[in-house]
Amino acid sequence: MNHPLTILGIESSCDETAASVIHGGKIVSSVVTSQLMHQKYGGVVPELAARAHETNIMPVVTAALEEAAIQKSALDGIGFTQGPGLLGPLLVGGCFAKSLAFSLGIPLIGVHHIQAHVLANFIDDPKPTFPFLCLTVSGGHTQIILVKDYFSMEVLGATQDDAAGEAFDKIAHLMGFGYPGGALIDRYAQEGNPQAFDFPAAHMPDFDFSFSGIKTAFSLFIQNKTPEYIRTNRADICASIQAILVRMLLDKLVKAAQKSGISTIALAGGVAVNSYLRQQLKQLAQKHRWTTFIPAITYCTDNAAMVAITAYYKYQLKAFARFTSPSLPRYPII
């Protein structure tokens, strides 16, 4: 292949329909449509999400091609999120990607959603060098991953129950915030004192996490509080619960860095947007002399640029998916 590769990436694993074009290793477009109708249910309704993806996918892909100023005939391959995620939403993106690739006669590339979150660290410069540790924190996953190469990743530790983003969202829900509430906790915490309230951290072996206990502790704490009390103390409550959640994440990251001797550290996933997490990571980086990497905010939450760059690296390995579902490759690495 001696011309710069042009790949379309499609993401549809949850409630974001997204498409992105990568050309010669650079992201030239990234379009994301979020589904707001889930807010009134306090969480994503899979069937509604699948239907919304069906409505959104064509305009989103068209917009991504237009933003990149390329015709679909110029594409060399199509990457799509193969999993993990909600089955209906994944099927919509997968069928669309498959049909388009088949009709254009170009390769189809299956992408692992969490691997894509990790590889979002390669979208902008400077890029991390291997090996590095990646704390991958989203609404569905919390893992410390040892990244040895683009497609050689080992999970060193993971949550044994809720994901960190899920804990943020459930706690926000208990405070009466909308869905997803993680970003609201972050926003209200800006004015608060992180030491105002004491919440118990879970102690798990090795590099594993648990967030279900703190969620229960928080529900017991909040159940007797009046709306007036919550309103008056909102900033301090948010700052305190956020501080303990972040401490639980970073304590394990420090432990993994010390045990592995690795000092190149990255973040990935929607919770990596959290300003307190970013700020605390910066302090730890100074203390432990780490080199740190965090994707731009738009590449932390679900997006298709991370799918496009993963597909771009996979294309070079000729790791293509077949068009018949039973033989689509599986990715047990994460």
Shortest Cβ distance from residue 172 to Zn ion (Å)? Answer: 18
169 binds, options ligand KG4, Zn ion, none, Cβ within 5 to 8 A by partner type: ligand KG4
Helix 182-189 vs helix 164-174: angle between axes, to the nearest 10 degrees? 70
Please give the Cα distance from 20 to 164 (Å, whole number). Answer: 27
Two tokens, residue 10: 């499609």
* Helix, strand, coil fractions of the chain, as percent rounded to 5: 50, 20, 30
Q: Is 138 among the residues that bind Zn ion (CB under 5 A)? A: yes
Query: Which region among 59-67, 72-80, 137-145, 221-229 touches Zn ion (by CB under 5 A)?
Result: 137-145
Q: Is 183 among the residues that bind ligand KG4 (CB under 6 A)? A: yes
* List of residues 6+ apart from 126 with CB closer than 8 A: 293
Shortest Cβ distance from residue 113 to Zn ion (Å)? Answer: 6
Out of 76, 162, 186, 236, name the contact with ligand KG4 by CB under 6 A.
Answer: 186
Query: Which region among 20-28, 179-187, 227-235, 258-266 touches ligand KG4 (by CB under 6 A)?
Result: 179-187
Please give the Cα distance from 176 to 197 (Å, whole number). Answer: 19
CB atoms under 10 Å from CB of 140, counted, come to: 18
Out of 79, 94, 110, 180, name the contact with ligand KG4 by CB under 6 A.
Answer: 180
Q: Is 295 among the residues that bind ligand KG4 (CB under 6 A)? A: no
List, in sequence order, the alpha helices (H) in 22-84: 46-68
Out of 77, 94, 157, 182, name the contact with ligand KG4 by CB under 6 A.
Answer: 182
* List of residues 6+ apart from 216 with CB closer than 8 A: none
Query: Which region among 4-12, 38-46, 64-72, 130-138 touches Zn ion (by CB under 5 A)?
Result: 130-138
Out of 11, 186, 236, 302, name the contact with Zn ion by CB under 5 A.
Answer: 302
Q: Is 218 among the residues that bind ligand KG4 (CB under 6 A)? A: no
Two tokens, residue 169: 């969202």
